[in-house]
Amino acid sequence: MRLLVYTRTTGYRHDSIPAGVEALRGLGGFDVDATEEFPAGDLAGYAVIVFLSTSGTVLDDRGRDAFRAYMAGGGSWLGIHGASTTEYEWPWFEGIAGARFVSHPPLQTATVNVEDGEHPATSHLPAAWRWADEWYEFRANPRPRVRVLLTVDERSYQGGAMGADHPIAWCHTYGGGRCSYTALGHPAEAFGDPAFVQHLRGALEWLTD
């Protein structure tokens, strides 16, 4: 199976992008095409399109059309961390991502709660998992539209503003295909952590099942 790993940024660029590409290449079972140029043609040969900490406006009209056609044909999309900071001017993409990033407090350790322990992206994690990352805030809680996999306990860190229900990873169907998003993945070190890598592997497993 092939993955298209798209890493273009027109806003903030994460230093962790190269580590993320290498982690996805190291999963095994996938041929990875990592690119800053989104293909404008037929994308049906890709099992999953991954937006790895993309930011800002990263698609032209041809790219948007190709992406929409891919999803309508039963494609799959995985968004990692900064992917929710992408394509603010395109309402359809908000449906793909599930939520829009607005802000985050400084990177710090917090308690992540596994809400859905049956999903392959979370089944390996403890019920309460200590993890250091940027805790993204979103314009609106995605819960009404998605299957929430992980939440972060705002009592366990400083600066949270979403309240008692703060999803940070989820999956859903949209546009004819499957979508999965995790807000985790800011530090490069995350992509060398076995638990986080398995989180990504499990998301891909669900997307390609």
CA–CA dist 82, 54 (Å, integer): 6
In the chain, which residues have pLDDT < 70? none
- For the chain, domains (ranges, CATH) are 2-208 (3.40.50.880)
Query: CA–CA separation, 1 vs 202, rounded Å?
Result: 15
Residue 97: phi and psi, rounded to 5, are: -70, -35
Whole-model pTM?
0.98
Alpha-carbon gap, residue 105 to 131, rounded angstroms: 15
Contact between 169 and 143 (Cβ < 8 Å): no
Q: What is the pLDDT of residue 137?
A: 98
Tens of pLDDT, residues 61-93: 999 999 999 999 999 999 999 999 999 999 999
Tens-place pLDDT, residues 33-46: 999 999 989 999 99
